[in-house]
Amino acid sequence: MCSSDLALGIFAEHRGQHELRAIGRYFLDADRKSAEVAFVVHEGTRHLGIAGYLLGELATVAKRRGIKEFWASVMPDNRAMAGLFLAVGGVESKADSEGEREFRIPVERILKSRKKFLERKTIQRIER
């Protein structure tokens, strides 16, 4: 049995110190087929494709674990994150009373759109 949840981080070396620049994580739902996904990206490294990269890495692990769908709640003013979810095939449901938007994204769709996303952002994925 594997762990229910997953968190991945991206670090940068700055003046000999490793600094956390971004975190992507998912929390498995009770049905064990879907999971909530969320990201925190340091202000100085936003709009570089880091959240998209992490989304692809999370999807790769999720597929191996049998997870079929990610979902996310996005604040109304977070256009970048909403744009990412739409770009990878996410479907938006209606916003709640506070304007928070919800997206559902099939893991397979994320993986299918991944190569184009990485090319567009000029990100190289190194296989391990």
Q: Where are the domains of the chain?
A: 6-120
The pTM of the whole model exceeds 0.75: yes
Q: Domain 6-120, what architecture?
A: 3-Layer(aba) Sandwich (3.40)
CA angle 45, 23, 26 (to 5 degrees): 140
Q: What is the pLDDT of residues 83-115, one digit of tens each?
A: 999 999 999 987 677 788 999 999 999 999 877
Closest to 121 measured CA to CA, from 44, 51, 66, 62:
51
Q: How confident is the model at residue 1 (pLDDT cuts 50, 70, 90)?
A: very low
Q: Are strands 69-74 and 34-41 parallel, antiparallel or unpaired?
A: parallel
Which pLDDT score is estimated for 120?
67
DSSP letter string over the chain? ---S-EEEEEEEEETTEEEEEEEEEEEE-TTSSEEEEEEEE-GGGTTSSHHHHHHHHHHHHHHHTT--EEEEEE-TT-HHHHHHHHHTT-EEE---TT--EEEEEEHHHHHHHHHHHHHHTT-PPPP-
